[in-house]
Amino acid sequence: MQVVLGPNRYGKAETRLVRVVRDGDVHHLKDVNVSTSLSGEMEQVHLTGDNAAVLPTDTQKNTVYAFAKKHGLRQIEDFALLLAAHFVDTQPTIHHARVEIEEYLWRRLPERGHSFVRDGTEVRTCLVHHDRDGRSTVVSGLKDLVVLNSTGSEFHGFLQDGYTTLRPTTDRVLATAVTARWRHARPPADYGPSHARVRQDLLDAFAGTHSLSLQQTLYAMGERALTGGPGLCEIRFAMPNRHHFLVDLAPFGLDNDNEVYYAADRPYGLIEGSVLREDAPDAGFAWE
Amino acid sequence: MQVVLGPNRYGKAETRLVRVVRDGDVHHLKDVNVSTSLSGEMEQVHLTGDNAAVLPTDTQKNTVYAFAKKHGLRQIEDFALLLAAHFVDTQPTIHHARVEIEEYLWRRLPERGHSFVRDGTEVRTCLVHHDRDGRSTVVSGLKDLVVLNSTGSEFHGFLQDGYTTLRPTTDRVLATAVTARWRHARPPADYGPSHARVRQDLLDAFAGTHSLSLQQTLYAMGERALTGGPGLCEIRFAMPNRHHFLVDLAPFGLDNDNEVYYAADRPYGLIEGSVLREDAPDAGFAWE
Amino acid sequence: MQVVLGPNRYGKAETRLVRVVRDGDVHHLKDVNVSTSLSGEMEQVHLTGDNAAVLPTDTQKNTVYAFAKKHGLRQIEDFALLLAAHFVDTQPTIHHARVEIEEYLWRRLPERGHSFVRDGTEVRTCLVHHDRDGRSTVVSGLKDLVVLNSTGSEFHGFLQDGYTTLRPTTDRVLATAVTARWRHARPPADYGPSHARVRQDLLDAFAGTHSLSLQQTLYAMGERALTGGPGLCEIRFAMPNRHHFLVDLAPFGLDNDNEVYYAADRPYGLIEGSVLREDAPDAGFAWE
Amino acid sequence: MQVVLGPNRYGKAETRLVRVVRDGDVHHLKDVNVSTSLSGEMEQVHLTGDNAAVLPTDTQKNTVYAFAKKHGLRQIEDFALLLAAHFVDTQPTIHHARVEIEEYLWRRLPERGHSFVRDGTEVRTCLVHHDRDGRSTVVSGLKDLVVLNSTGSEFHGFLQDGYTTLRPTTDRVLATAVTARWRHARPPADYGPSHARVRQDLLDAFAGTHSLSLQQTLYAMGERALTGGPGLCEIRFAMPNRHHFLVDLAPFGLDNDNEVYYAADRPYGLIEGSVLREDAPDAGFAWE
């Protein structure tokens, strides 16, 4: 039997970088987690351990820090593109680079120039690819945006089989932690305002949709993100249904008119879906 | 050899409760995690498995939900006191109750009555005791309040021995996740505003202290909390020093003038300390 | 602009199931975590919230429990196949089912019939697909198999650029947490022995390979798994390089001849790769 | 109002250390996580930021690594004692040292000299104190020892009140993750065999006790540990009741004769208790 090497990549994951920019007494903070991953002429390192084509993951980490100094770090998408292009353009054995960045958000304290407090559980994300044919792709996104509607959500009219015990409801709590990732038809002038706009559209659609199912809410959020401003051609979601079960208080002689809930951990519903423009260009390796 | 039963307690940990109160179209949300723990005449259950003195942890859980309906849930300290007193007052075999509550914070979306987004990593906490002699204690607190000063922090003049390699610095990043717990000399009229006041004082002191050590910052925070408003007699802190190490960019021909940092995970400094009024009454079992 | 629904699926994630089988006084334990995910005629639920085609995730959970009773649960791959086929075969609106199972391992205590202790951090996994055209795929695997070689690992001869500071080494610690997933050319008679054989081959190859790079070790493990027994046609790995850095003890007048290491958390190398038979059949949706 | 500094300590938490000892081709591995904490003349550092009495946490970390080289690392209790005494004995401003160590267990692969696999979720622990009056205390322990009895456990005869809905049972699954910590009346000749003996006694008592309540099992485990061998005078437990709820399969026309369980996450019972010799000497600061 003949055995061969299949698809592979290697890199440095989770390089934690904080950059401080001083604008007089006012400081600006960027707090990111960078994962780089390279592929190319990697047969020999796998077959014989010959590292001649391998740029060490330690060097990738150093490059992340050095680039934050040399080139600055404003929008994570731009920083990721810079890194990805660098690896491919400077090392002939590297044919493809993948860079993923998480950004943690901080809020400057009022009337303080250099004091900050972490702002929410939410994380801004991006995933960038660049190959030696000069093709680049950018996926922007966010995760752990935790939202809840305390009414305005129903669930009924579903399929029933011999294993169905769930009763329909016309008023329930709907809660989720949104993971959303999107790509632009063409790059926006600035990824910052584009991100803020999409995020706001997602919140507006989540809050503004009278929901008959979490899928309907997901689609409404995607539609709003695509039509609420210029540029997006596709958006993908993963939304766990963080169940809030109404507690049965009847044994204690109490009503429970949608007031007291048990917030469950596991199991949970998990809704995944994508919304795209009919004319969305091919994604290539963007999502990989 | 004679073997005996020592101190013991049992209870239901982490009962997750969400309560929604509808004020017309405007909803109010409380999202808490309640842990109850009871002790008393528990010799027999340990020695022979006779459960006659045991109020099941399942019943404790039910009580949490039923009380949220019957009595409402405004300030976690009041709800914890109510629960603790209930267990001790209604079961002769239960001599002491301990109730710990975490509260997760949500922010209502602007112009939305019933849509919420999780507000930060920070958690509000309380720890309450009540015994059959009618003694009650209340500890209020918060945890995971993540803060960072990007300048205004020094560290030098420390002890040196044969294992010291650290170099002194006059400008570093100071970051921590504050856990603070405090008790009042006498109960405040309302635990809500008291908590908000202490939290703000902690932030003000963290941001406003030019720090020569994290201990100095801790003490300044405690002093401010004790003197910034009425009522506190003691505050205790646990503050990990979330190290941000300046990356050495010299090998790449680059300066690094307090701009690019590596945010480390482990190991980390851990500073624990308390600040109290000289005339603080005895804490009893408050902190246990 | 026309917006359309793209690929989507929904299901119940992380249904925790423990099954006890009594063979006289000797009990057998299966401890699993089942995630089911369905897709099919889901346009209406997304566009209008009409749930007529939706089998609730709650029903999926019930089915998992009922099937564990009705059909038993021996090998996770067989149980997953049974579930996947059931959803597709009984609901015309469901065209495709994906079932993922994690199994946690327990060891019966010696000379005890019904007492068990959790056996390691390692998790056995499977991922199964079934569609209405009758196509089924099975991926078996494991994760969190944590292994370490305290010698027999080198790293040198790598690319150097202006950001390289790493020094070559001819003796280092090599540690990783193996995630491996594989598919068979044709189904084995019994997935249990097949899993045990592959696991042993992975350990043997990890331990028996004098390693010039983690990639070389990965390939050797894959090759051994494919050639060490019948049936596998492809195996995929994700192996974080859990760095153990030699501590510089020179400032304290001490040598450190590969004796004292700092076990780092982040960043870490991440090596991903696959090994396959040249004649491996097309994987279809097996890995999705 | 006069505000004063209360109890305080500071140190370096979670220094991750792996030590390899080469005995010819056979290697020995120790994998530990060391947390040191010092207290003493710390008024000035809190009040003015004067660090003259402060041994930096970075130095503490260095000391851990250097000591692993200079003195070796066999039993974690002995290593902790050595560290604690060092800090107090060499720095007049340090009056008290607290050292906590976790040890992660590895198993050497059969017939391999230097290849290891992580052995279970279980962690060995110790907590050591030393002060400048020469008093030392040692607490040994373990945590995350996950055990399950699939029968031989009952729960009935408990208190009932208006919030009780739990039904009594004469056959249930009993599962927990044992945290146990103990102290010796006098130090054992070797902490290694003592630990192994206690661990085995805990397993034997857990498996061998027909349980009417988790408290009864806890007490039996403590009694066995105290009487099963020489030296222990006190043992403390924290044991979460990892509930396994029998799934109601009646809606699907199926019996469930203690066969199919739902393993729940939260809430969970939490049983804490201690067992001690009647003549146990005062614990001093041992448990703090």
Known catalytic residue at B12? yes
> What pTM value is reported for the model?
0.98
CA A166 to chain centre: 32
Nearest Cα neighbor of C283 from A131, A9, A7 is: A7
Supply C230's token pair.
């019948």
Whether the Cβ atoms of residue D83 and residue C177 lie closer than 8 Å to each other: no
Q: What is the mean pLDDT of chain B?
A: 97
How far apart are the C-alpha atoms of D189 and A128, rounded to whole Å?
59
What would be the CATH architecture of the domain defined by A145-276? Roll (3.10)
Supply D68's token pair.
């692993």
The domain locations on chain B are 15-134, 144-276
Residue B245 distance to chain D (closest CA, Å): 12
Nearest C-alpha in B relative to D229: B1
D162 interaction partners in chain A (CB closer than 8 Å): 252
B211 interaction partners in chain D (CB closer than 8 Å): 49
* CATH code for the domain defined by A10-134: 3.10.270.10
**C3 and A155: CB-CB below 8 Å?**
no
Residue B230 predicted with pLDDT over 90 = no
Phi/psi of residue D66, nearest 5 degrees: -65, -40
Please report which helix (H) or strand (E) contains residue B191, including its range: helix B191-208
Nearest Cα neighbor of C213 from D118, A95, A53, A86 is: A53
- The Cβ of residue D263 has, within 10 Å, a number of other Cβ atoms equal to 20
Nearest C-alpha in B relative to A20: B259
pLDDT band at D216 (very low <50, low <70, confident <90, very high): very high
**Which pLDDT value is given to residue C150?**
98
**Which pLDDT value is given to residue C1?**
74
Q: Which fold has domain C15-134?
A: Urate Oxidase (3.10.270)
Closest CB to B120: pick one of A119, A149, A244: A119
**Which pLDDT value is given to residue A120?**
84
**Which pLDDT value is given to residue C230?**
84
How far apart are the C-alpha atoms of C100 and C14, rounded to whole Å?
9
**Percent of chain A, pLDDT > 70?**
100
Q: pLDDT tens digits for B140-199? A: 999 999 999 999 999 999 999 999 999 999 999 999 999 999 999 999 999 999 999 999
pLDDT band at D230 (very low <50, low <70, confident <90, very high): confident
Q: pLDDT tens digits for A44-92? A: 999 999 999 999 999 999 999 999 999 999 999 999 999 999 999 999 9
pLDDT band at D229 (very low <50, low <70, confident <90, very high): confident
pLDDT band at B1 (very low <50, low <70, confident <90, very high): confident
pLDDT band at D1 (very low <50, low <70, confident <90, very high): confident
How far apart are the C-alpha atoms of A280 and A277, rounded to whole Å?
5
Nearest Cα neighbor of C31 from C155, C122, C137 is: C122
Closest CB to B252: pick one of C163, C252, C266: C163
Residue D120 predicted with pLDDT over 90 = no
Contacting subunits of D (3+ beta carbon pairs below 8 A): A, B, C
Nearest Cα neighbor of D33 from D129, D82, D104 is: D104
- Tell me, what amino acid is at C256? N
Whether domain B144-276 has CATH 3.30.465.10: no
How far apart are the C-alpha atoms of A42 and A9, rounded to whole Å?
8
**Which pLDDT value is given to residue A1?**
74
Catalytic residue among B28, B57, B59, B95: B57
B180 interaction partners in chain A (CB closer than 8 Å): none
Residue B62 predicted with pLDDT over 80 = yes
DSSP, collapsed to helix, strand or coil, labels residue D98 as strand
Same topology, domains D10-134 and D144-276? Answer is: yes
- Tell me, what amino acid is at C165? T
Task: Categorise residue A62: left if φ over 0, alpha if ψ from -120 to 50, beta otherwise.
Answer: alpha
Q: What is the mean pLDDT of chain A?
A: 97
**D20 and C203: CB-CB below 8 Å?**
no
- The Cβ of residue A278 has, within 10 Å, a number of other Cβ atoms equal to 9
Phi/psi of residue C10, nearest 5 degrees: -150, 155
| A197-211 mean pLDDT | 98
Give the sign of the dihedral formed by CA C176, CA C179, CA C185, CA C191. Answer: positive
Nearest C-alpha in C relative to D262: C17
Residue numbers of chain C with a pLDDT score lower than 70: none
Nearest Cα neighbor of D31 from D14, D44, D50 is: D14
Closest CB to D119: pick one of C17, C120, C256: C120
Residue C62 distance to chain A (closest CA, Å): 6
pLDDT band at A230 (very low <50, low <70, confident <90, very high): confident
**A116 and B148: CB-CB below 8 Å?**
yes
Supply C11's token pair.
């299901």
How far apart are the C-alpha atoms of C68 and B212, rounded to whole Å?
62
